[in-house]
Structure 1
Amino acid sequence: MIEFKFDMVQTMAIAAALLFVGNYIKQKVCVIKRYYIPAPVVSGIIASLIILFGRQTGLFSVTFDVTLQSLFMNAFFTTVGFMASLKLLSQGGLGVVVMLFAATLLLTLQNIIGCSLASVFDLDPKFGLITGSVSLTGGHGTVGAFGKTIEDLGVVGAQTAGFAAATYGLIVGCLIGGPIGKLLLKRNKVKVHNDKAADEVINAEPTKDVVSTDTRPDPFSGTNLINATVCIAISMGLGSLVAPYVKAHTLWLMKDGLMLPSYLGPMLIAALIRNITDFAKRPIPMEAIDSLG
Structure 2
Amino acid sequence: AERGLGMPSPDEELTAVKREIREIGREVVARFKGEGADSEARYRALIGDEGYDGTLGTFVDRQATADLPRWRPEYLEYSFGSRVAGDRYDPRSTERPAVIPLTEGAGDVLLLRGKVDRVDVDGNAMLVIDYKTGKAPSYKSLEKGYSMQLQLYLLACAQLLGLEPAGGAYYQLKDDGFGMQLRVADPRYREALGGTPTPYATGLRKDLERALSNAREALEGMAAGAFHPVDSLEQERCPRSCPYSRVCRKDDMRVLAMTLARGKGL
TM bucket (normalised to shorter chain) is: under 0.3
Structure having the higher strand fraction is 2
TM value normalised by structure 1: 0.23
CA radius of gyration, larger in: 1
Higher normalized helix content (fraction of residues): 1
The structure showing larger relative contact order (alpha-carbon pairs under 8 Å, at least 6 residues apart) is 1
